[in-house]
């Protein structure tokens, strides 16, 4: 019998989960998912735009939550 030793790094797993979650959010933008753009710089800038939109949405939700208690 060969025993298989499993290695689990909790810190690495948490980091990977955050990255996978961010990738799933980016997949909601069709232009990034299908990649209509032919220039790399345009495609990269679309990522910046998508991340900015996601960030602004998160701020809006948090701001609305904070205003409830003021």
Q: Give the per-residue pLDDT at 34.
A: 83
**Which pLDDT value is given to residue 2?**
66
pLDDT at site 6? 76
For tokens 């809006």, the residue is 60
**Rounded Cα gap, residues 26 and 29, in angstroms:** 6
Q: What is the pLDDT of residue 9?
A: 84
- Nearest alpha-carbon partner for 50 in 30, 34, 21, 26: 26
| Residue-range domain boundaries for the chain | 10-68
Q: Read off φ and ψ for residue 22, nearest 5 degrees.
A: -65, -40
Q: Note the pLDDT of residue 48.
A: 93
* pLDDT tens digits along 11-56: 888 899 888 988 888 888 888 888 888 899 998 999 999 999 989 9
CA 53, 56, 59 angle in degrees (round to 5)?
155
């Amino acid at each position: 019998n060969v025993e298989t030793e499993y290695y689990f790094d909790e810190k690495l797993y948490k980091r990977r989960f955050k990255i996978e979650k961010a990738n799933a959010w980016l997949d909601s933008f069709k232009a990034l998912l299908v990649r209509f753009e032919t220039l790399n710089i345009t495609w990269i800038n679309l990522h910046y735009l998508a991340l900015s939109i996601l960030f602004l949405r998160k701020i809006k939700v948090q701001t609305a939550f904070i205003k409830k208690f003021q």
